[in-house]
Amino acid sequence: MKNKAIFICTVLYFALQSITIAQTVSASFEGIQYSGEKPPDPVIAVGENHVVLAVNSKYEIYNKSGTYISGQSFSDFFSSVSPQPTGSIFDPKIAYDHYSDRYILLAIDGSHRTRYLLAVSSTDDPTETWYKYSIQGTLYDLDYPGLGFDENTIVLTSQSEVGSNSYSPDLTILNKQEIYSNSKNYQIDIRDINNGEKLKPVRVMGTSPSKFHLVNTTSDGKVRIWSISNPLGGSPSLSIDKTITFASFQGPQNAVQKGESEKIEINTVGSSISDVVCKDGIIYGAYTVANTSGTGSSVKYFSTDINNNFAILDEGLIQSTDTYYYYPVVHPDGSGNMILVFNKSSSNDYVGVAYTIHIKNNTSYEPINWLKQGAAGYKLLLNTKNRWGDYSGIAMDPENNYRIWIYGEWAKTSTTWSTWVGSIEINIDISTQFSNIIGTQNAGGTLTVNSTTTVNSGNTLSVPLGNNNVKTNNERFSNWNSSGYTYKNNNWNDAASELFLSHDFYAQLGSQQEQDAKYLKMNYAKIQVKTDGYTLSGTGDINFQDPWYVKSDGSQPGDFWLTETSPYEPTGKAGETEKGVFLDQNPQFQPGLPNYSVKADQTQENVSINGSNHNMYFQNWEAINSSLQYPDELETPVVFNYANAVVTANYKVDNLTNSSETYTNNGQRRIAQTANDYIHKVYESMGKVWYEKSTDKGDTWTIMNNGMPLTAGNSKSPCIAVNDANPDCEVIIAYQKENSGGGSDLELNVFFSTNRRILIRGLLN
């Protein structure tokens, strides 16, 4: 059947914010037709690719365009379970478990009224294998079942008939993973809870709360929230967490319909809540009550926050004088807006399927619309009653959490019902201002919204409720306002962690929404390498990480390391000539916030210095007008505190010194040769003593002691000796080291051929 589309548009104003709301019925088709059962009890589940419908006695599978794929009677579907059902199978419930991408189907075995029939699909494809179970529930006849789940459990409930007009809830807890592995070994039953309660377990979406919750409505207008503590712990505990009192109400009257004097029987379950959803810690529910004034019946809806003592977030009453709304279910979309589907009839309306939307935090609901109008006055008696219901179906589409599927019953002829399916997509456009901001001023330029629309800085644009993206098209403003300074994009909305040119944001209801790209002044800085006190130019690698850096392809990795030759003057963008960094970015080095970073290699080999190649050994970092978090480590975050900041990686090079005394009067440099023809050398540089060794008769040299000086403090006058008596002990090195009293101590170093070192201190006073 060809889809029909209905477009409804209205404009609302919240504070300063302009909002446009559009509802679209993106799919609409006839579902399961009259099966011979009365009433049908229609329910729906939606997966990635399929829509599964169920009524009393059968189920059917469709694709999302409404094309029928397959179907089967419950008698055939459950024929393999033991004990085998031989009578009617009724009161279906169905859900799609988004945690595990499985379908769950529940019904009651009419031939064994104390047993549930449960089936779960083996995959996300309902046309493939199902695992099926017959599960003993209460000792009494089951009726009005409920199906709920969270990440770990499946919970079944029923109102059990323990005697004439006497009822008791049945509660069965199953281990979901065992059910899904086709090996049900785990089951807990809680019985005789509280006479008369019709508990409905929640269907959890998002992170599961610490407790599993159930809901029921009472005859005096209350909503009662229950919880199961430790549901899979062997001894679960059931308790009432909250009783919510709304305005008092009466149970609904039987419904008037057009063209038939026989009223629609709204069974006594009419005021009982049906399927309940818990999404992101918020419970959503709806049930039928009488109109507060005049004739008719109404839909009461609410949402309550589990994590805030079950505070009511939204509530309302859908009613019109002399109009009957009944058998509602509700489901939130991705933003917590409620979609409600229910039956509607009046003296002017055949009974059909209607729906409305309640926008989160709004004080009312959107206009009521028909999904499918009835076509005739309906009279199909069951035990003298013109039964209808007992509920409608609703489900979120896992492909799009702003698409909600609704399913209900309508009068097709005077003696036959049918069902209708629709998917409601909510499109809410929110007027949002987009700006490039320097200080408090509009910097000009343009921004691109959702990769398609370009907007001038300071202008507004309507964007969909929910997830969006904006990118500033201006990485920097050179000589902005003739100030002589370059300003570069730094963050969005003063959020340091939102540092890229592109920014994902969530458009939501409330006051006027703004998305501001914030710019900061750039200041000159330099990263360089020094060795033995000499600044290297055009040689020596330096690594710099600029979280704001823009590569030549326009991307911003955030953790991209630039490898440059000393000195490097940061520009923030590939190919850019204007230099500079931001000052005072994350001065406390807080995790999760952006910092510049520098990194050096422990050893750099064959570096050309004064026409010859040398090996360089990292010593530490030093900073001018800057702060370093780990100055003695190879990698450290850095904060540039003032303009003209300089960060230096200090290296030591073999065969090079900044001390003239090393080569004068033969006063510092000492050389010795061991029996293996290795040459050993000690000398002073940068106020410290260094030990080098050559294993190729002086062609190449290695700085020993892992490339570090022999002492951390000031030292001088080194000498070296060979221990010919013990070849394992290669050399002995001595030098003077300044002590805290202003004098000198003699330190002795013994190096072995295994590179092991012994240090003896304080030989002199």
DSSP string covering 518-551: EEEE-B-EEEEEEETTEEPSS-SEEEEE-TT-B-
Residue 464 to residue 617: CA distance in whole angstroms = 57
Provide CB contacts within 8 A for 263, sequence distance 6+: 254, 255, 256, 257, 386
Task: Work out the pLDDT band at 1, boundaries 50, 70, 90.
Answer: very low
Neighbouring CB atoms inside 10 A of 551's CB total 13
Residue that has been written with the tokens 């409720």 in this structure? 465
Flag whether pLDDT at 453 surpasses 90.
yes
Highest mean pLDDT among 12-16, 562-566, 660-664, 722-726: 562-566
- Could you give the C-alpha distances from 229 to 128, 241, 514, in angstroms and in order? 35, 11, 43
Answer yes or no: are the C-beta atoms of 210 and 199 closer than 8 Å.
no
Flag whether pLDDT at 414 surpasses 60.
yes
Provide the greatest CA pair distance for the chain.
Answer: 125
Give the residue with greater pLDDT, 148 vs 506: 148
Task: Work out the pLDDT band at 742, boundaries 50, 70, 90.
Answer: confident
Strands (E), 393-512: 393-397, 400-411, 417-438, 441-442, 446-449, 453-456, 459-464, 466-472, 476-477, 487-492, 502-507
pLDDT digits (tens, 9 = 90+) for 598-610: 999 999 999 988 8
Provide CB contacts within 8 A for 614, sequence distance 6+: 606, 607, 608, 653, 654, 655, 656
Amino acid at 589: F
Q: Could you tell me what percent of the chain has a pLDDT over 90?
A: 68
Helix (H, G, I), strand (E, B) or coil at 481: helix
Q: What is the pLDDT of residue 294?
A: 82
Which H/E stretch holds residue 179? helix 176-180
Residue whose C-alpha is closest to residue 231's, from 317, 311, 153: 153
Which H/E stretch holds residue 177? helix 176-180
Distance of CA 593 to the CA centre of its chain: 19
State the average pLDDT over residues 709-726: 85
Q: What is the pLDDT of residue 16?
A: 41
Residue that has been written with the tokens 């690719």 in this structure? 49
Flag whether pLDDT at 361 surpasses 80.
yes
State the average pLDDT over residues 351-356: 97
Q: Which two tokens stand for residue 153?
A: 């459990």
Residue whose C-alpha is closest to residue 722's, from 759, 680, 684: 680
Residue 537 to residue 566: CA distance in whole angstroms = 6
DSSP state of 166: E
Lowest pLDDT segment from 247-261, 314-328, 622-636, 655-669: 655-669
pLDDT digits (tens, 9 = 90+) for 99-158: 999 999 999 999 999 999 999 999 999 999 999 999 998 778 898 999 999 999 999 999
Flag whether pLDDT at 164 surpasses 70.
no
Amino acid at 718: P
Q: What is the pLDDT of residue 299?
A: 95
Residue 184 to residue 134: CA distance in whole angstroms = 10
Length of the chain: 765
Q: What is the pLDDT of residue 18?
A: 64
Q: Is the bond leading into 252 cis (omega within 30 degrees of zero)?
A: no
Average pLDDT of every residue of the chain: 90
Q: What is the pLDDT of residue 739?
A: 84
pLDDT digits (tens, 9 = 90+) for 419-440: 999 999 888 888 999 999 999 9
Residue 746 to residue 479: CA distance in whole angstroms = 60
Give the residue with greater pLDDT, 753 vs 162: 753
Answer yes or no: are the C-beta atoms of 521 and 563 closer than 8 Å.
no
DSSP string covering 210-246: SSEEEEEE-TTSEEEEEEEESTTSSS-EEEEEEEEE-
Which phi and psi angles does 455 have, rounded to 5°?
A: -130, 140
Provide CB contacts within 8 A for 2, sequence distance 6+: none
Residue whose C-alpha is closest to residue 532's, from 619, 671, 656, 417: 656
Q: What is the pLDDT of residue 360?
A: 87
Lowest pLDDT segment from 352-356, 488-492, 499-503, 695-699: 695-699
Q: What is the pLDDT of residue 661?
A: 65
Flag whether pLDDT at 29 surpasses 70.
yes
pLDDT digits (tens, 9 = 90+) for 59-69: 999 999 999 99
DSSP string covering 387-409: B--S--EEEEETTEEEEEEEEEE
Answer yes or no: are the C-beta atoms of 155 and 231 closer than 8 Å.
yes
pLDDT digits (tens, 9 = 90+) for 568-591: 999 999 999 999 999 999 999 999
Which H/E stretch holds residue 758? strand 757-760
Flag whether pLDDT at 216 surpasses 90.
yes
Q: What is the pLDDT of residue 6?
A: 30
Q: What is the pLDDT of residue 574?
A: 97
Task: Work out the pLDDT band at 754, boundaries 50, 70, 90.
Answer: confident
Answer yes or no: are the C-beta atoms of 365 and 354 closer than 8 Å.
no
Answer yes or no: are the C-beta atoms of 421 and 368 closer than 8 Å.
no
Answer yes or no: are the C-beta atoms of 393 and 43 closer than 8 Å.
yes
Helix (H, G, I), strand (E, B) or coil at 660: helix
Q: What is the pLDDT of residue 663?
A: 58
- Could you give the C-alpha distances from 406 to 44, 421, 424, 459, in angstroms and in order? 8, 6, 7, 38
Helix (H, G, I), strand (E, B) or coil at 76: helix
Residue that has been written with the tokens 């009521």 in this structure? 368
Flag whether pLDDT at 520 surpasses 90.
yes
Give the residue with greater pLDDT, 168 vs 74: 74
Flag whether pLDDT at 745 surpasses 90.
no
State the average pLDDT over residues 286-315: 93
Q: What is the pLDDT of residue 676?
A: 87
State the average pLDDT over residues 252-265: 91
Q: Name the pTM for this structure.
A: 0.65
**HSE value, Cβ hemisphere, 13 Å, CA-based, for 102:** 23
Q: What is the pLDDT of residue 4?
A: 31
Q: Which two tokens stand for residue 246?
A: 């709304």
Which H/E stretch holds residue 176? helix 176-180
Answer yes or no: are the C-beta atoms of 427 and 461 closer than 8 Å.
no
Residue whose C-alpha is closest to residue 513's, from 573, 445, 447, 431: 431
Q: What is the pLDDT of residue 10?
A: 30
Highest mean pLDDT among 170-174, 654-658, 713-717, 758-762: 170-174
Flag whether pLDDT at 279 surpasses 90.
yes
pLDDT digits (tens, 9 = 90+) for 66-105: 999 999 999 999 999 999 999 999 999 999 999 999 999 9
Q: What is the pLDDT of residue 510?
A: 66
Strands (E), 281-320: 282-290, 296-305, 311-318
Kindly give the residue spans of alpha helices, DSSP state H, lying in 282-379.
none
Task: Work out the pLDDT band at 2, boundaries 50, 70, 90.
Answer: very low
Task: Work out the pLDDT band at 723, boundaries 50, 70, 90.
Answer: confident
Answer yes or no: are the C-beta atoms of 635 and 598 closer than 8 Å.
yes
Helix (H, G, I), strand (E, B) or coil at 97: strand
Residue that has been written with the tokens 């690698």 in this structure? 541
Exposure string for 505-540, b = 16+ CB within 10 A, e = fewer = bebebeeebebbbbbbbbbebbbbbbbbeeebeeeb
**How many degrees, rounded to 5, is the angle at CA 513 between CA 510 and CA 514?**
160
Helix (H, G, I), strand (E, B) or coil at 279: strand
Residue 671 to residue 662: CA distance in whole angstroms = 12
Residue 103 to residue 123: CA distance in whole angstroms = 8
Flag whether pLDDT at 312 surpasses 70.
yes
Flag whether pLDDT at 625 surpasses 90.
yes
State the average pLDDT over residues 490-504: 97
Flag whether pLDDT at 7 surpasses 50.
no
Distance of CA 128 to the CA centre of its chain: 31
Q: What is the pLDDT of residue 293?
A: 81
Residue 255 to residue 345: CA distance in whole angstroms = 7
Task: Work out the pLDDT band at 662, boundaries 50, 70, 90.
Answer: low
Answer yes or no: are the C-beta atoms of 402 and 466 closer than 8 Å.
yes
Q: What is the pLDDT of residue 759?
A: 86
